Amino acid sequence: MIDGLAYAVIAVSLVVGLGIIGLAVANRRPLTLLAYGLVTVEAVALVQVLVAIVQVVRGERPDEPATFVGYALTSLLVSPVGAVWALSDKSKWGTAAAGVAALVLSVLTVRMLQVWG
């Protein structure tokens, strides 16, 4: 893990997640904008995992390998799967749930930093 990258990932997750929840509160549902935001979240999650893979290949090891792998896989899957499921509900609650799905990446990233060591 690279601290600076992790903080950037957390920032993207927070901005996109809170932004989507803000749109939900305002009862708005701009699907194109939501898609851009959610794809951005997934892209930074993917970059973070790829960087970790490179680090492991170069000989670094997380303190808790099994837990780290679990969080890394979850970080790639939870936001997109959660967001797609959330947006299949047409109400503002569905939009808000997509925002929460994006926020999950920030929690997972904090945990990944902790178990990396």
Q: Quick one: which of 101, 102, 105, 113 contacts other proteins (CB under 8 A)?
A: 101
Q: Quick one: which of 67, 76, 80, 114 contacts other proteins (CB under 8 A)?
A: 67
Taking CB under 8 A as the rule, does residue 93 contact other proteins? Answer: yes
Any idea which residue has 């950037």 for tokens? 8
CB of 78 to other proteins, least distance (A): 7
Q: Quick one: which of 43, 53, 89, 117 contacts other proteins (CB under 8 A)?
A: 89
Quote the crossing angle between the two packed helices 3-25 and 31-57, to the nearest 10°. 160
- Among residues 74, 96, 89, 101, the alpha carbon closest in space to that of 20 is found at 96
Positions 28 through 47 that interact with other proteins (CB under 8 A)? none
- CA angle at residue 13 from 18 to 36, to 5 degrees? 85
Cα torsion angle, 83, 84, 85, 86, sign: positive
Which residues lie near other proteins (CB under 8 A)? 66-67, 70, 74, 78, 82, 85-86, 89-94, 96-97, 100-101, 104
